Structure 1
Amino acid sequence: MAAEHIEDELVEDADRGYEAAAEKEHHDEDNRLRPDFLRNVREALRDEDFERVYALVEPLHPADIADLLELTDEEERIALARAIRDLMGVEVIAELNDWVRERLMEGLPADVVAEIAEQLETDDAVAMIEDLDRADQQAILAELDPEDRAAIEAALAYPSESAGRLMSREFVAVPESMTVGDLIDFLREGRELPTEFWEIFVVDPMHRPVGTCALSWILRTPRSISLVDVMARDQTLIPVLMDQEEVALRFQKYALISAAVVDDAGRLVGQITVDDVVHIIQEEAGEDALLLSGAGDGDIHEPIRDAYLARVRWLIGNLLTATLASSVIAMFEDTIARMVALATLMPIVAGLGGNAGTQTLAVTVRALATNQLASTNAWRAIRREMAIALLNGSTVAVIIGIAVSLIFQNTILGLVIALAMMTNIVVAGLAGVFVPLTLDRFKADPAISSSIFVTMVTDSMGFLVFLGLATMSGMVG
């Protein structure tokens, strides 16, 4: 036995050495695929030497295979996927960029996509085909065996980005009448159990979850103990129609590893695990940041037409709000004509106000997205942002006021810009809180259009206060 153990260790060491050598061969010092390796793969694809393609790609980690697919052109990507179809497992599909995965599935024959889908769990298979055209979906579903097809069709019946789409239908549920020994025997028999699971769901005769048992508890408890005596009765149940962002917040708040998904009648229909939720948290966080900037999905693989439509709407909205700000300037043409220095200083007032508003807006949108800000603590948040705005405004006003007075040798001008800066930063703070709160109150996503309104307020107010004070001060009379 000792000799066999040593031999096994030697084999494992050799495998690890081979993997390390392969990684060094294929990757540069920044752990990116080497240009010469990419060139070799592309040459083999152009020569239709698919055996060489397979030999080159096979040593790669699934995440690196996904990177390789994303780095190739669309036509090459289809040929590459066909050449390595049995390497296109769940790990590769999960790592692929959403846009790349969708275009890849559209370009592959239905039977090839079905073959890949059959290797995946239901939730992963659904994520792979849910964005395809209805005709493409039906063609792929027709190639699946009836059981897999029924499970995927049931998942697709739920709304997009809901718990029903996200959940896995592979879980372990047992009746509350079992003992620990009964459960261990059941698990060892391995009756079509999931490959990986961390918790056992205990259900009543109506298949409603009444508790959970962690595997660690089961392994440390005597066989004669009943499950109802060892299970945790407090559990977080996820309604099947709950939005995935809310699901992620519950996992984050309660530090969940997995959670039961229930239908309207309270029956257990699936489970969501933390590995699914980590992806959602990353996706939602990035999505809010990109929405605030108006950059659409912000994905380099996004089709040009989609990126154009997402961004041009935002720019047109900004154009309309900028027109309002320019009309404010037009009201003070005579004032600006009599003192050109005002035109030089106007962008400073508007720019700093805009930056202050963006800071407050980012904090507010994030607080709303993570449920840290609600109607119960809204006024406290407003008072906090106003205190910060007053401190920021005072500091910047003193600095700009002194600087302008010295540079232009005009104390009144320094005082005017100081007051305008102070006012605009405070107004920016108010707008940065009230605009997203108002949009959220009316069930609109505050990340989508808040920045347009905040920019409009800070630009218009900055010009109005600065030029208005300059006019009233009489220094340009």
Structure 2
Amino acid sequence: MSESDHIAAAPPAAPPQDSTPNEVMDEETRLRPEFVNKVLDAVEAGDDETARQLVQPLHPADVADLIELARADEREGLVKALAGIVSPDVLAELNDYVREDLLDELEPQQVADIAGQLDTDDAVALIEDLGRDEQQAVLERMEPDDRAAVEEALSYPEESAGRLMQRDLCAVPEHWNVGQVIDYLRSTKDLPDDFWEVFVVNPSHHPVGTCKLSLILRMPRKTLVSDIMQREQTLIPVDMDQEDVGLRFQKYALVSAAVVDENGRIVGMITVDDIVHIIQQEAGEDITLLSGAGEGDINEPIQMTVRTRVVWLVINLGATICSASVVGAFQGEIRRYAILAALMPIVSALGGNAGTQTLAVVVRALATNQLTSANTAWMLFREFRIAIANGIALGIVGALGSFMVLHDLKLSLVFAMALVINSLVAGLVGVLVPLTLDKARIDPAVSSAVFVTTMTDVMGFFSFLGLAALILTR
């Protein structure tokens, strides 16, 4: 039996046992290195039975972690050894790059069988990264209903609610009573495995309210759904970006929400377990993009990582050349006062750090919708005051320190003034750059850092050397 047969035929893994966390997990629910090594050693020794016994109690997410922790050349043997354990649920939990490598070993029919056992959102995540020809081959082998659901989801933009939603949901008409709802839940097979509320719809299939399952279970059977449903609800447009979906779940403390098409008809639902993953993904993405490190995924192919990082390093090289050209314009002053060469990197570095602090706050505020056109002026004035305060504090400390070491009052004054000016520049560009990029519909997390660093370097060198030329040469 091939590796692909093991995956396609695998049943869901058993839930974790009470004793497992102490033996297998650390206090932060991460697999212990000793456990990982024990499983891999058993596989290498050909003792597949021992490996399966060790892994059997783990949750599918932990089995996925185990596969990701193995080296690339160890994963194929590990998956073969864990026959009956590496289930579709495990594949759904895997890192995208690791899952893609495993799917490359499967036949289209086997991928189709796996996708058919998953919720729509997980099936889409499984298929969407395949090549066009592979994707089509898998879709052709899926059951008609499953294929239609996945094809519809793939028709929506990437990272949108349409890709994120699952089509299986529980919707009932508003004229039903509680008894009819309960009978429907008991008799209908095509319901999602996990849901917390029933969506109430009108004859046109537009959502008009929701009923929590806990409320339905406590009400008499003859109670009308329309009398107990909550009419106010948060609806998610099918084309909404997943980051905005996450913000709505966070803002309104949602457990699930209906997804509606452009005509207002309900087409799916999104649950909080999907949103937790999205929030983590978006937060990590913003951090790595802000540094120019691409996705920052340790499983990303090296060639792709190099290509992403070198682009931003080249851009930074150009920005550094701009800064160096400013220094070159003051070569005469630097030759006369060599100490300037030692102090000017301090001005530049402190400005860069101050700009990065402001930039991080602004990018986060934009990402969480805390910063909008309604409070932009207030935010700008706030950062202006902070920059002035920081600049004065740095200027005083810098002036005293330089005077104690160099005993040059004029030079200390120049140093202090440059620190104040560059701190102010850092505060302003740290706000204005991401705001401008956001207005231009460019992700400020991707390119703000280059512009902010360049501005603080250029202005730091120019203000310090310019003031030195004006004051020290008199």
Q: What TM-score results when the alignment is normalised by the length of structure 1?
A: 0.91
Query: The residue matched to 1:87 in structure 2 has which SS?
Result: coil
Deviation readout 1:319-349 (Å, 9 max, x if unpaired): 1111111000000001001111100001100
| Deviation string, structure 1 residues 152-177 (Cα, Å, up to 9, x no partner) | 12211211101100001110001122
Mean alpha-carbon deviation: is it higher for 132-141 or for 346-355?
A: 132-141
Q: Residues 161-202 of structure 1: CA distance to partner in whole angstroms, max 9, x if unpaired?
A: 011000011100011221122112212223322211111111
CA distance in structure 1 between the partners assigned to 2:427 and 2:99 by the alignment: 42
Aligned to 1:168: 166
* Offset, 1:23: 4.7
Structure 2 unaligned segments of length 5 or more: list them. 1-13
Aligned CA distance change for structure 1 residues 192 and 163 (closer, same or farther; 3 Å): same
Match of 2:209 in 1: 211
> What's the counterpart of residue 137 of structure 2?
139
Identify if the C-alpha distance between structure 1 residues 136 and 43 changes in structure 2 by more than 3 Å, giving closer, same or farther. farther
**How many residue pairs are counted as aligned between the two chains?**
461
Residue of structure 1 in register with 2:255 after alignment: 257
Contact in 2 for aligned 1:261/1:271 (Cα 8 Å) = yes
Q: Is the Cα contact below 8 Å between 2:355 and 2:427 reproduced in 1?
A: yes
* Equivalent residue runs for 1:440-455 within 5 Å: 440-455=438-453
3-state SS, counterpart of residue 169 of structure 1: coil
8 Å CA contact 1:338–1:476 kept in 2: the answer is no
In structure 2, distance between residues paired with 1:267 and 1:423: 56
For 2:74 and 2:145, locate their aligned partners in 1 and report how far apart those are by CA, in whole Å.
33
- Please give the secondary structure, in 2, of the residue aligned with 1:211: strand
Per-residue CA shift, 1:108-140, capped at 9, x if unaligned? 333443333232111111112211212222333
Matches within 5 A, 1:174-323: 174-323=172-321
- Cα distance, 1:380 vs. partner? 0.4
Alignment match, 1:353: 351
Moved more, 120-129 or 110-119: 110-119
Q: Report Cα offsets for 1:337-363 as digits up to 9, x if no partner.
A: 111110000110000000000000011
Equivalent residue number for residue 335 of structure 2 = 337
- State the partner residue of 1:5: none
Aligned counterpart, 1:9: none
Change (3 A) 1:209 1:30: closer
Provide the identity percentage: 55
Please name the residue that 1:123 is paired with: 121
CA contact 1:105–1:129 (8 Å) conserved in 2:
no
Distance 1:159 1:350 in 2: 42
Give distance in 2, aligned partners of 1:188 and 1:288. 44
- Match for 1:134: what amino acid? R
CA drift of 1:227 comes to 1.3
Unmatched runs of 5 consecutive residues or more in structure 1: 1-14
- Assess if the C-alpha contact under 8 Å between 2:168 and 2:190 holds in 1: no
On the 8 A contact 1:88/1:116 being kept in 2, the answer is: no
Partner-residue secondary structure (3-state), 1:107: coil
- How far apart, CA to CA, are the structure 1 residues paired with 2:265 and 2:28? 49
Separation in 2, partners of 1:107, 1:75:
14
TM-score (normalised: structure 2): 0.92
Deviation at 1:214, TM superposition (A): 1.0
Find the counterpart in structure 2 of residue 96 from structure 1. Answer: 94
Cα deviation digits, residues 287-331 of structure 1 (max 9, x gap)? 111111111111111110111111111111111111111000000
Tell me the equivalent position of 2:71.
Answer: 73
Which residue is equivalent to 1:407? Answer: 405
- Superposed displacement of residue 212, structure 1: 0.8
Partner of 2:3: none
Q: How big is the shift at 1:91?
A: 4.5
Q: Is the 8 A contact 2:120 2:149 kept in 1?
A: yes
Q: Distance in 2 between matches of 1:256 and 1:30?
A: 26
Secondary structure at the residue paired with 1:469? Answer: helix
Q: What amino acid is aligned across from residue 180 of structure 1 in structure 2?
A: V
CA change 1:139–1:298 in 2 (3 A) is same
SS in 2 for 1:391: helix
The amino acid of 2:220's aligned partner reads P
> In structure 2, how many angstroms separate the alpha carbons of the residues matched to 1:54 and 1:79?
13
**Following the alignment from structure 1 to structure 2, what is the Cα–Cα distance between the partners of residues 20 and 197?**
26
Partners of 1:108 and 1:42 in 2: how far apart?
23
The CA distance in 1 between the partners of 2:56 and 2:211, in whole Å, is 39
Instruction: Give yes or no for contact 1:202–1:211 (8 Å, CA) kept in 2.
Output: yes
CA gap 1:423/1:164 in 2 versus in 1, 3 angstroms: same
Among 451, 456, 459, the residue aligned to 1:458: 456
Compared with structure 1, are the counterparts of its residues 149 and 35 closer, same or farther at alpha carbon in structure 2 (3 Å cutoff)? Answer: same
> How far apart, in 2, do the equivalents of 1:19 and 1:205 lie?
47
Distance 1:156 1:37, change over 3 A: same
Q: Secondary structure at the match of 2:17?
A: helix
CA RMSD of aligned residues (A): 2.2
